[in-house]
Every structure is written in structure tokens, then in C-alpha cells.
A and B are shown apart, each in its own frame.
Chain A
Amino acid sequence: MTSVDSQVSPEIASQAAEALDRLNEHTLKTVHWHFSDDTGSPFWLEKKAELNFDPLTDVKSFDDLKKFPLFEDDWLRGGPVRRWVPQGHAGKPTYVFETGGTTGVPKSRVVIEDHWKDYELFSDTLPDEHFPRGSNWLMLGPSGPRRLRLAVEHLAQHRDGICFCIDLDPRWVVKLIKKGWMEHLEEYKKHCVDQAVTVLTAGHDIKCMFTTPKLLESLSEALEERGTSIQEVGIKGIFSGGTEFTPQWTRFCVEEMLGGPAEDGGVFMTPTYGNTLMGLACSKPITAADGYKISYHAPQPRAATEVVEFDDYNQVVGYGKTGRVKLYTLTDEFFVPGFMERDEGEREMPFAKFPWDGVSGVRPFHELATATTVGVY
């Protein structure tokens, strides 16, 4: 990762340097854990034999992760799933979470406590005035074998609340779209949103929720048809993710669904960016003055993102320049030394709250965009 240049204040530059030190230290620790015989996972210990370097001696910094070949998500398809469990965590209760899988074998990631830790860290970024502690939550998003449902529930519990959930199967949604069964799609969406409306209007003191942008739209519409609104049913804070956010959508959301900016009494909404591999990247607070620009910053040092050149995935682009999003996961449960996301965006500067690089304008990688079904739920 390139060091912060002279474009930021000396104070931020100093914070960024400290963050980089922490990242380097964390990288060393993580690599040693995953490649030591007594703690590493069978997958990485086997992979070690194929490498032309020794991770235990040749990785001295975050930048040295570039010595690894790119992580291939196809490695996550099929079993045995236990090969991903680090020996250091042997015997602990283990979850498996899946992504994809509308057709064929889904990608599986094992998790022990990472989803709890990620969301506890995320909780620290949520403002209490908009996500009041002790209030209940609604999880209106993909359920089943996905980590999101359990993670959001844990977030609610971590903040002393109880989480209400709706069943939503995104694989069925993708099938409906591919079959062109748009009426069924609408009915399924309505089926989910109707349940959410019922829960929200049943006196459960729900003040916070997770949902996807499309479901938020549908929920807002359903409430408006019933003569009420997201604000009027008592929601104070929403964290949203799962599909692409654009500044225009965010502006529409703030101005026309959430009762205006949170500082003027509207519902607070924070976009997030993440997946089963990485966890959750938070966004810099969005404002009208900043053109509703959305910048994400990974939960460093447990995960990091870079924006890299389209033709050289080891070369980070300059600040403000466009490139493909590259992801690293560095926890003691899961190790991803560089995975090329299916997204592109612009590299963002560190700032006080997150003194490391971020990415803005995230959208499907242009070379894959036409082949990808995005924004399905």
C-alpha cells in the first residue's frame, strides 16, 4: 500500500502512518498464524508447498502480501469445508456461510466468531442518537445460509436490542429475474415487505434496521400506501448494503424516503460495503454538500481494500483515480492475501475517523458488468 502523500494534513498523515504500522504488524501475526503447522488451516498449509517463497520468513509487511498469487474464490466451492478451519481453532463451534449458489456449487466460508467481531467493531461506528442502545431491530435482507442475518442479529444483541427477521431467499430472486417472471418477483418482494410492515406496526419498539437499497424503496412505498412512513413508524437509524449505492439514489433516499437529512430530523442512513469474505466497510458520513458521495473504508487491520490498476493488480492507483477494488482479509479465522472484487471505484484519501485509504463510487467492474445480475433484492 502506498504511503499517504502530501495531499493530507500532517496530523492525518501521522495517523495514517500509525495505521500502516498496525497493519504491518497485524499482517505478520496473521501470516504466522495461518502458515504455522500448529495453528494454520489444512488449505493454507497445503498451499504453502506450492509457493516459491516462505511466508513465515519472507512476509515482513502488508506490501509483501503481493508475493502471494491472487486469491481465487473458486477455491471456496465444494468440500471438504473443514480444510479451511485453522488448527488453532480446532474443536470450536463453526459456522459456514455461503455466497452465490443460484446455480451450481456456492462459495462457502467458515466462521467461528468473525461475524460477531466484525459487527461489534461496526457497532462502534454507529451514532447512539440514531441507533439508540436497547432499541429493537428489523433485519430485512437475505437470510438462510448467509452471514448477514446472524451478524445483524448479533449487532442488535450487542447493542442490547432484539432483532426481528424476515426470510428472504436471494437465489430465488435471481431465478425469477432470469426466467423473466417479473410478476412473481413483485409478489415475492411484496410478500417480504408486507411481513416487515406487519412487524414494524405491531408495537415492538423497533428503531433500527438493516435493509438493502431496493427493499428500503419497497418498504417506503408500502408504508406510504398505508398513509405512513419509515420515520412515522419510529425508525431512527438504518444501515444498508448488499447492492450498489449511487449518490443519486442516496439523495433520493434522504430527500424523499427518510424525511430529509438526519441533522434536520430525518432518519439516519449509512451505506455499507461488504461481503462474506471481508466483513463490513463503513462509509464516511454522507452529506448533500459533498454531493452525496459515498466513500467506504475497510475495517483495518482485520481487512483492507486497495484500488488497483486495471492492467496491474499489484499497482495502486493515485488518489481520485479509478481502478478495480482489491480485498484482503486478515483475521485468525480467514486469510485472503488479495482478492479481486467484482467492483471498481475511485481511491479515497484517509481521514480522521478512518486514517487509511478508502474507495468511492463503487460500481460493477466494467468488464464484468454486463454478465452480472446486480441489485437483485
Chain B
Amino acid sequence: MITLSPLRWGKPYESLDFHDVVHFDTGAPIAKVGQVGGGVVAKDLRKAYKAREALLKYSTGELIEMSIKAAELFENGTLSVGDSQQSVDDFVHQQSASTGLPEHMCRSNMVKNSFVLKNMGQILDCLTRGLDLSILSNGYGEEGRGVIVSYQAQTPILGAVLPNNSPGVHTLWLPAIPLQIGLALKPGSQEPWTPYRMVSAYIAAGVPAEAFGLYPGGHDAGGAIMTKTERSMIFGSAQTVAQHAGNPRVQAHGPGFSKILLGDDIVDDWESYLDVMVESVLSNSGRSCINCSGIWASRHTREIAAAIAKEIGPVDVKPPTDPDSQLAAFTVAAMATGTYGMVQQDLAESGVTDLTAEFGDKLIERDHCAYLRPMVVHADSPDRAVASKEYMFPFVSVVECPQAEMLRRIGPTLVGTVITADKQLIAAAGACTHIDRVNIGPIPTNRLNWLQPHEGNIIDFLFRSRAYQVADLPVAAAV
């Protein structure tokens, strides 16, 4: 069994408290993770400036090169993780065993994280719109227009309270290191694997260990990260997001409520887009904020729902090692039963129909975990409560709504795929502030272009653009 220790600015700390990470299906322990409290975190964060100082010894170019090397190590290497040597297969087995995610999905997420590392130079070029990155290091510089530009780092480190069960989200904090911003991470209690392996890969690639803090622990460890860092990310529920709304120091990531909108001009040809809809709903077991939870159209909605149901309704539980496994387990069985209870309430409303009813039981309970099989429901109006729901399994509502009302009624939408050639609708979708990432055309909601910002541009989050004027002294200063 592997033991993971907290990392205090690069130094492993042997805690006296341990949390057992257990196999989702058998309950057998697979890792011991040393825990720290908020006091340890707060103590370390007082020296956060040292993390940035350590990174500033290297240029952004050098750190981008290290990121590329780290990508290779993360995706293919055997790395020192905790007290063990961890191969790629070990990582995949461990992550699948604790999160309930099928192994092939763990590999996909690994590739996704690695892609971001590998393409870090290009990603930063796009996110900064071609800024000379030395300007971020120095705080100011010239771009050739005869005007100084200045970007001031708002924090020496980025804090992050990471989720338990979504290995894909780690792409969001990876750019901090080449931007010379250290990391203080609280790994999820069931998914310590990605942050530990990623930090190990970064260090093996030459990034100074002093740039990293890993603080597994309870709520007070996470609380300390949130209150003691100038910039932090947190992943949680809609309630978590609401709690941090308007706080410029916190980027809160929650449910995505991602949607596909079918324009009136193409909806009669909806079958051509069935694959896009199915992938958007089913990929990664419907767990991501970028999975589609709502498909909106003005007509044919019942037929669309029935066709998606026919594709994903039969999907059943398979072993996590099966390459065709499509469903992730709920490692806390009560979450599945609770979710199922909420779905039952949704279905009780008049005008809501379950199109997957004929495909058997949805709630599959095991000794240590539970599963929810895919569900497709039809809502005859956006007024139905289910039209604005998102759950942590393949679940979609197909909502009947006149095109003219759609953009006004969809509500917050992380990824909005608008399938249309109607220029007016395209323009309106581009202007719709409900939608964060907009896709025009048949792009599955789960296919992100990492060269574009996601839920805010990390450059704008970590740096502030400001004025910086310089004048020569009338008399040379004494040296």
C-alpha cells in the first residue's frame, strides 16, 4: 500500500494522522494519506513568497520546457510518488480504484492533462494574446508600440481545493508553474493521485520543489488555503460557487449546466447531430461540468429524447477494467440514492417524461458503492424544474422551447453548443452572457480547445494589467 505524505514547500512531512483511501467496490485500503490541519497550512503560507522566488530563478521559457518534459514523465514515466515508484499502470489502477472511474477514462484524463503540459507554450501564447512572457516575470516591459505594458502578479502562489472525483479539472492549475506562480494544493480525499503525480513529474523535470505545497486534510486545511492565499480555486457544488460569487480572490468551479441548442433551421435534420448529443451526454460518465445536461429545441424534442435514450439507455455497469465500461461508480453510495431521489421528484412533475424507463432499473446498489444508469427525460416546457438540473451521471433533459425564448431562458451555461447556420441566432448566442464557452456548429460540449480560456482567463486571474510610467532621473543616482 502506498503512503502519500504532505509536501511543505517541497519537503515531505511525516504526519501522525492518516486517511485511508479505499477501493470503491471492495472497501480494501489502497493508500494511506498523511493529513495536516489548517495550522500547518497557515504556517507554510506565510512563506509563500519563497515559492515564487524559487520559480523566478528560471525563465518562463525554461519552465515551459520543463512542463513539456513533465508531460512526458506524467504520461509515460515511472515516478517517485509518496513512498513508492508509480508506473502509469499503477496510477491508472489506483485512480480508478478510489474514484470509481473506469480505467480507460482515467487514461483519457491523463492524456488531457498531459496535453495541456505539452502545449503549455502555445496555450500561454494564446491566453496572453502573444505577450512576451518576460513581461510577466519583470512586471513590465515594451511590446514595440512605444508604450510600457505592465502585468503585476497578484499572488506568489495559487491555492486550490481540488475535487474528489474529477481528474480532468487539474488542467486548470497547471499553467501556474510556467507563469512563475507557486502552488498550494489540497488534494481531494479520494483523488490525491493526479496532484501527487503531477507535482512529482514537475519536480523530476527540473522545477524547484520549493514551489509546491500539497496539503491533504480536512475542511480546515482547505479553509486555510482559501483564506490565506490571494488567489485560489475551489471545486464544489452550486452552493460553493454562490458562496464565493463576486470574490475576486476566488475562482469557484461548480456544475456546468452545459447545453446543446438546436436552431430552427436545422432541427428537422436532428438525426445528423445525434452522435454529437450522445457523446456530450455520455462521455466521462457524465461527470464533468462540460457534459451536456440540457438539449433545447423548438420541435422534435420527444423524438430526439427517444433516440438518445435508445443509444445510452441500455448502458449498464461493467468492471472498471473493461475498455467498454461507460459508467463511473458513486463511491459514496448515499450520493447515488440521494441523487436518484431528486430525479424521482423531477419526474413527478406533469409534463416530464422518462424516455429511458424501458431500459431497466437505474439505481444499482453494491456493498460499498452504487451506480446510476443513464437517463434521458423529456420536458415539454422550460418551466419544468428538470430543465435546469445537472446530476453527476449521464443525465440529460431534452427541453421543448421556442427558439426566440431559448437564450433568455437557458440560465448559466458553461459550454453552449449552438447548432445552427442562422446568423441572427449565432450573433445572439455570441452576445448571450449566460454562456461561458460558446461553440457554433456541431461540436460536442466535452471537446474543449485548451488554447482558449476556460471559466475566466488564468492570466487575468493571477496578473493585473496596470499603468507603469518611467522617467529618467535629472541627476544620476549614487551607486
Q: Mark A211-224, 1 if CB is under 8 A from B, else 0.
A: 00000010011001
- From 357 to 398 in chain B, residues with beta carbon under 8 angstroms from any chain A beta carbon are none
- From 216 to 238 in chain B, residues with beta carbon under 8 angstroms from any chain A beta carbon are 220, 223, 226-227
The CA-CA distance from A288 to B262 in the complex, in Å, is 66
| Chain A residues packing against B (C-beta within 8 Å) | 180, 182, 186, 217, 220-221, 224-225, 246-249, 251-253, 256-257, 291-292, 375
Known: A180-B243, A217-B42. A248 touches B227 (CB 8 A): no
The CA-CA distance from A180 to B227 in the complex, in Å, is 13
Evaluate contact between A249 and B37: CB separation under 8 angstroms: yes
Residues of B within 8 A of A182 (CB): 223, 226-227, 243
Evaluate contact between A252 and B227: CB separation under 8 angstroms: no
Given A246-B37, A248-B37, A252-B39, list of 15 further CB < 8 A pairs?
Answer: A182-B223, A182-B227, A217-B39, A221-B42, A221-B43, A224-B46, A225-B46, A246-B17, A248-B15, A249-B37, A249-B39, A252-B36, A252-B37, A252-B40, A257-B39
Nearest CB in chain B: distance from A226 CB, A: 12
Q: Mark B161-205, 1 if CB is under 8 A from A, else 0.
A: 000000000000000000000000000000000000000000000
The CA-CA distance from A253 to B15 in the complex, in Å, is 13
Evaluate contact between B38 and A217: CB separation under 8 angstroms: yes
Evaluate contact between B43 and A248: CB separation under 8 angstroms: no
In the assembled complex, 23 residue pairs joining A and B whose CB atoms fall closer than 8 Å, in A order, are A182-B226, A186-B227, A220-B39, A221-B39, A221-B42, A221-B43, A221-B46, A246-B16, A246-B17, A248-B17, A248-B36, A248-B37, A249-B39, A252-B36, A252-B37, A252-B39, A252-B40, A252-B43, A253-B39, A256-B40, A256-B43, A257-B39, A292-B16
Nearest CB in chain A: distance from B310 CB, A: 41
Evaluate contact between A375 and B42: CB separation under 8 angstroms: no
The CA-CA distance from A182 to B40 in the complex, in Å, is 19
Is B35 close to A, CB under 8 A? yes
Contact of B16 among A220, A248, A256 (CB under 8 A): A248
- From 31 to 50 in chain B, residues with beta carbon under 8 angstroms from any chain A beta carbon are 35-40, 42-43, 46
The CA-CA distance from A221 to B38 in the complex, in Å, is 11
The CA-CA distance from A21 to B226 in the complex, in Å, is 54
Chain B contact residue count (CB 8 A cutoff):
17
Residues of A within 8 A of B36 (CB): 248, 252
Q: Is the interface of B mostly helix, strand, loop or mixed?
A: helix
Evaluate contact between A247 and B39: CB separation under 8 angstroms: no
Nearest CB in chain B: distance from A106 CB, A: 26
Evaluate contact between B35 and A248: CB separation under 8 angstroms: yes
Q: Is the interface of A mostly helix, strand, loop or mixed?
A: helix
- From 1 to 53 in chain B, residues with beta carbon under 8 angstroms from any chain A beta carbon are 15-17, 35-40, 42-43, 46
The CA-CA distance from A249 to B17 in the complex, in Å, is 9
Nearest CB in chain B: distance from A188 CB, A: 13
The CA-CA distance from A291 to B15 in the complex, in Å, is 11
Nearest CB in chain B: distance from A255 CB, A: 10
Residues of B within 8 A of A251 (CB): 16
The CA-CA distance from A246 to B38 in the complex, in Å, is 13
Q: How many A-B residue pairs have CB under 8 A?
A: 43
Nearest CB in chain B: distance from A246 CB, A: 6
Residue of A nearest to B242 (CB): A180
Known: A248-B16, A291-B16. A375 touches B220 (CB 8 A): yes
The CA-CA distance from A251 to B43 in the complex, in Å, is 14
Nearest CB in chain B: distance from A20 CB, A: 33
The CA-CA distance from A337 to B353 in the complex, in Å, is 58
Residues of B within 8 A of A291 (CB): 16
Residues of B within 8 A of A224 (CB): 46
Residues of A within 8 A of B16 (CB): 246-248, 251, 291-292
Residues of A within 8 A of B35 (CB): 248
The CA-CA distance from A251 to B35 in the complex, in Å, is 13
Nearest CB in chain B: distance from A33 CB, A: 44
The CA-CA distance from A172 to B100 in the complex, in Å, is 40
Residues of A within 8 A of B223 (CB): 182
Residues of A within 8 A of B42 (CB): 217, 221
Kindly name the residue among B37, B40, B42, B243 whose own CB sees the greatest number of chain A CB atoms within 10 A: B37
The CA-CA distance from A11 to B243 in the complex, in Å, is 60
Residue of A nearest to B39 (CB): A217
Nearest CB in chain B: distance from A66 CB, A: 35
Residue of B nearest to A249 (CB): B37
Residues of B within 8 A of A247 (CB): 16-17
Nearest CB in chain B: distance from A352 CB, A: 26
Residues of A within 8 A of B17 (CB): 246-248
The CA-CA distance from A251 to B38 in the complex, in Å, is 14
The CA-CA distance from A180 to B220 in the complex, in Å, is 14
Residues of B within 8 A of A246 (CB): 16-17, 37
Residues of B within 8 A of A180 (CB): 243
Residues of A within 8 A of B220 (CB): 375
The CA-CA distance from A182 to B227 in the complex, in Å, is 9
Nearest CB in chain A: distance from B236 CB, A: 12
Residue of A nearest to B219 (CB): A375
The CA-CA distance from A110 to B37 in the complex, in Å, is 36
Nearest CB in chain B: distance from A320 CB, A: 18
The CA-CA distance from A220 to B243 in the complex, in Å, is 29
Residue of A nearest to B35 (CB): A248
Nearest CB in chain B: distance from A220 CB, A: 8
Nearest CB in chain A: distance from B136 CB, A: 29
Residues of A within 8 A of B37 (CB): 246, 248-249, 252
Nearest CB in chain A: distance from B397 CB, A: 29
Residue of A nearest to B217 (CB): A248
The CA-CA distance from A217 to B43 in the complex, in Å, is 9
The CA-CA distance from A251 to B13 in the complex, in Å, is 12
Residues of A within 8 A of B38 (CB): 217
Report the 10 A-B pairs with minimum CB-CB distance, sorted nearest first.
A248-B17, A248-B16, A217-B39, A247-B16, A180-B243, A248-B15, A249-B37, A252-B39, A252-B40, A246-B17
Residue of B nearest to A216 (CB): B39
Residue of B nearest to A181 (CB): B243
Residues of B within 8 A of A252 (CB): 36-37, 39-40, 43
Nearest CB in chain B: distance from A221 CB, A: 6
Residues of B within 8 A of A253 (CB): 39
Residues of B within 8 A of A186 (CB): 227
Kindly name the residue among B16, B17, B226, B227 whose own CB sees the greatest number of chain A CB atoms within 10 A: B16
Kindly name the residue among B16, B38, B39, B46 whose own CB sees the greatest number of chain A CB atoms within 10 A: B39
Nearest CB in chain B: distance from A260 CB, A: 15
Nearest CB in chain A: distance from B32 CB, A: 13
Nearest CB in chain A: distance from B115 CB, A: 35
The CA-CA distance from A246 to B36 in the complex, in Å, is 11
